[in-house]
Amino acid sequence: MRAFRHLYGPVQSRRLGRSLGLDLLVPKTCCFDCIYCQQGRTTRKTLKRAEYVPADEVVAELESFAVEWRGQLDYVTLSGSGEPTLNSAMREVLRAAKRLSLAPVCVLTNGATLVLPDVRADLLEADLVVPTLTTAKEETFQRIHRPVGGLRLADVVAGWKKFLRDFGGRFEVEVMILAGINDTEEELE
């Protein structure tokens, strides 16, 4: 199989089965700089959407991949080296993935970009959206995620609620518990 720049896997995932990853970003582009991130420190902290990786490159790789792998995946998953919803051409990639009928399309997201109307509109194309929740407290949210300036937890949750009014797919919240940070009785409650 040929090497790809924007696709990785398929990988075996406990929650998604055999999943092909799509990376729509240059490392490490995110609106958070989470203390737990396996990708390391955020080098480009932003809430600004741009076509960080050209959609036509991702789609071409996906079309090439589909020739050999059709019917062998459980999910095509947008994730990668930052927050995938920051790519302004995400909708084009989502539509191409669905058109190729490889598998249902999932977006793993920190959920913060759902404050943006265009992100909410683009994500309507996904079959499954999985945002992360770590706390219901603003102070803990700021401590864990170190978000881009001005981003507040209440706004993020409001964005989720707006999205859910129109979304017809599955929405599964991933809860992240960090020892000594958000694992107290008060936090868990």
What pLDDT, on a 0 to 100 scale, did the predictor assign at position 72? 85
| Burial of 5 from C-beta contacts in 10 A (0-12 / 13-18 / 19+) | exposed
List, in sequence order, every residue forming a beta bridge with 175; answer none if it has no partner: 133
Confidence grade of residue 159 (pLDDT, cut at 50, 70, 90): very high
pLDDT tens-digit profile of 66-81?
A: 888 878 899 999 998 9
The overall longest dimension of the chain from CA atoms, in Å, is: 51
Cβ atoms of residues 73 and 20 within 8 Å: yes
What pLDDT, on a 0 to 100 scale, did the predictor assign at position 85? 97
Confidence grade of residue 30 (pLDDT, cut at 50, 70, 90): very high
Report yes or no on whether pTM surpasses 0.75. Answer: yes
1 pLDDT higher than 60: no
What pLDDT, on a 0 to 100 scale, did the predictor assign at position 2? 66
What pLDDT, on a 0 to 100 scale, did the predictor assign at position 101? 85
Confidence grade of residue 9 (pLDDT, cut at 50, 70, 90): confident
Which comes out higher in pLDDT, residue 5 or 113? 113
Q: Nearest 5 degrees, angle CA 163-CA 169-CA 171?
A: 65
Q: What is the mean pLDDT of the chain?
A: 93
pLDDT-above-90 percentage for the chain:
79
Confidence grade of residue 178 (pLDDT, cut at 50, 70, 90): very high
pLDDT tens-digit profile of 103-156?
A: 999 999 999 999 999 999 999 999 999 999 999 999 999 999 999 999 999 999
186 pLDDT higher than 80: yes
